[in-house]
Amino acid sequence: MAPPPPPPRCATATTTAHHSLLGSPTCLARPRRRCCAVRAAVAVQAEAQAKVSLIRIGTRGSPLALAQAHETRDKLKAAHSELAEEGAVEIVIIKTTGDMILDKPLADIGGKGLFTKEIDDALLQGRIDIAVHSMKDVPTYLPEGTILPCNLPREDVRDAFICLTANSLAELPAGSVVGSASLRRQSQILYKYPSLKVVNFRGNVQTRLRKLKEGDVHATLLALAGLKRLNMAETATSVLSVEEMLPAVAQGAIGIACRSNDDTMMNYLSSLNHEDTRLAVACEREFLSVLDGNCRTPIAAYASRDKDGNCSFRGLLASPDGSTVYETSRTGPYDFDIMVEMGKDAGHELKAKAGPGFFDSLQ
């Protein structure tokens, strides 16, 4: 006689459960606890997936860069309710070449793009969605596939003088050492105060202030915009007027880039754009572009809206030792196309004044 067929799986499970119940009254609860634990784990995983960042902000890791990234994040959250949710906006820190090599002048390690290249690469590779930059660090060209549709409202463009023994550059004794990594600052200092000495002085704001306190230099100059964003404006001994120290191109301006095919990010960024700042920065960067400025070329420029609502522009080109300085100015309607043309025309004027030999000597 053939053996009877095995009982169905459900019958076996029922029988096993029945015998287990006879042997130990607590065993029946264990599968239920495991089931609950699995459900809980699935729920936690689903919740985590629901909190995937909608925007990943790429930035350098210095305190100032992070302050700018946080300002961008806060503005995005305030403007868009879906971004106000916890975890909707993530800040991703990216180390750049400029951050890693601090013992050499910028001109000696590549010049353009030292503080932006790695961030641009992360943007193009899709590891971040937007990139927050100090506009004065951004080369006049943008990598193919990226766009910079947004400038936040510009901060104070002036430079701050910081010293423990004097109230201004004019008060420094002959032979005093001023620390600065900027040839723009160096050239203007030496042009007006040839008895001073300027040495390469790199690092973030906190590092430079520490070196100053330790006596490495007698004084230094920092962008007032950076001090304000770090809530450290009180560390400034005095503030230099733009007449005494013309700012760097786009100083005090934050730029935010995204991929050129990312309509979602472009829409987010367009809501933050400050048009007056965008136009001023475009004017200054056109001036810089014509002069093909790099870290070996002291160049300064400032475009702003005057009391009559027009654009007032000043530009400067100098030799690093301050022995030669060329300046120009323009005034015209506060209009994008006109302001770009103003910057371009001013650049060509100074380029012609300086002559090709001037730029060859800076290589």
113 closest CA partner among 253, 294, 284, 301: 294
**Residue 37 identity:** A
The catalytic residue among 99, 120, 137, 159 is 137
Task: List the structure tokens of 341.
Answer: 């043309």
Over the range 169-207, which residues count as b (16 or more CB within 10 Å of their CB) and which as e? beebeeebbbbbbbbbbbbbbbbebeebbbebbbbbbee
The full DSSP string for 287-337 is HHHHHT--TTS-EEEEEEE-TTS-EEEEEEEE-TTSS-EEEEEEEE-S-HH
**Do residues 123 and 58 lie in contact, with contact meaning Cβ atoms separated by under 8 Å?**
yes
Question: Which residues contact residue 283 at a Cβ distance below 8 angstroms, ignoring those fewer than 6 apart?
Answer: 301, 303, 311, 313, 339, 340, 342, 343
208 closest CA partner among 181, 228, 245: 181
Q: Is 137 noted as a catalytic residue in this protein?
A: yes
Q: Torsions phi, psi of 62, nearest 5?
A: -70, 155
| Edge-to-edge strand list for the sheet holding 299-305 | 299-305, 311-318, 325-332
Give all strands (DSSP E) within 33-125, no chain letters: 55-59, 89-93
**Do residues 314 and 328 lie in contact, with contact meaning Cβ atoms separated by under 8 Å?**
yes
The residues assigned a catalytic role are 137
